[in-house]
Chains A and B, each alone.
Chain A
Amino acid sequence: MALDTVTQYVGEARVLLQDLVPTYRYADAELISALNLAIMTARRNRPDLFLEVVTIPQFVTSDITNGTPFAMDSQYRVAFLFFMVGFAQLRDEEDTQDQRAIAFITKFTQQLMTLT
């Protein structure tokens, strides 16, 4: 999946979260919120990703059904997906989920700021 739209981000996040069957464990609003937080964090760490925009994009749940595009350089789209998954899993109480969540969020930062 090319990760061109908000719909595709949420869809891919659900694959990694193993949350593909309704009713969903992670609500659409939670995943959209995670995407918005990823954008805000990325704006802090990599302002050059948002050179062409005046205000950073923030999405709502209706953007999933509308298929609203999220314009991001293809090199960094996976990083946003990792943050969404990691942030969604932070709410889980099990220790194993915590480690997985931290791993995803760390991967997000690494992909934005380092070569690894």
Chain B
Amino acid sequence: MSYATERLIKNARTSLPGSLDNVILLELYNVLDQFFKDSSIWTEEIPFSVNAADPAGTVYYIEPESVSTIVRLFSVLDESDFRQRASMQLPGEVTLDTPPSQAGTFMANVALSIVDPTQRDGYPEFPEWILTKYGMGILDGVLGRMMAQPAKPYTNTQLAAAHLMAFRRTISIAGTESLHRNVHNAQAWMFPQQFSTRSRRR
């Protein structure tokens, strides 16, 4: 367990009198899962091999190197770094819209989320910097979910709503900063929205 995780648990304990550590851990898992799924902040590039003889509709199986699960596919690049149209009907199963014309290694860029803990202390694995950067927002998520539980010494629906709102705000900020690759004020200009052909909403 990292110092940042330990600090988060200590903070949660302080604000939740009568809470149990394994319940905090359970909610931390739920919060992190929601955070990663909604913000798409944790990404990984996964290489996979294609052959020229692959028929249309061939399924390419990809697996992240980190202990995680694939949430969504961002892009597939061929060897020349040209974007290829592709889909992922099931997480980890990539299908190219156009069969490859030559053999090579393509690169799938995917968003990840946590899976069941594999560390000895029971904590899920994810990049350390995320907790360092968004720790307070994740703490808000844990506090909000804990305080929303019924009939506990730490139940507080008003505070729960406030914490969960702050958590949603953090997810939104994290998603935006991830899109801008953590560059301040990047891409402030947007193409006029009346030219938009599809919604920006997921």
Contacts and interface: CB of A to CB of B under 8 A. Distances in A.
Interface of A: 45-46, 48-49, 51-52, 73, 75, 112-115
A45 B152 CA distance: 9
Given A48-B20, A75-B18, A115 B153 contact: yes
Given A51-B23, A51-B26, A45 B151 contact: yes
Nearest to B152: A113
Interface string B129-163: 00000000000000000000101111000000000
A114 B153 contact: yes
A113 B151 contact: yes
A49 B20 contact: yes
A52 B151 contact: no
Contacts of A49: 20
Contacts of B26: 51
B17 interface: yes
Contact of B23 (A48, A112, A113, A115): A48
A45 B153 CA distance: 11
B interface: dominant SS: loop
Interface size bucket, B side?
Answer: 10 to 19
B149 to A, nearest CB: 8
Contacts of A48: 20, 22-23, 149, 152
Which 4 A-B pairs have CB atoms at the shortest separation, nearest pair first?
A48-B23, A115-B153, A113-B151, A73-B20
Contacts of B151: 45, 113
Interface in B47-99: none
B99 to A, nearest CB: 50
Contacts of B152: 46, 48, 113
Contacts of B23: 48, 51
B121 to A, nearest CB: 15
Contacts of A51: 20, 22-23, 26
A45 B26 CA distance: 18
Interface in B16-36: 17-18, 20, 22-23, 26
A46 B153 CA distance: 10
Nearest to B150: A113
A109 B17 CA distance: 16
A115 B17 CA distance: 7
Nearest to B22: A51
Contact of A113 (B17, B20, B22, B153): B153
B142 to A, nearest CB: 14
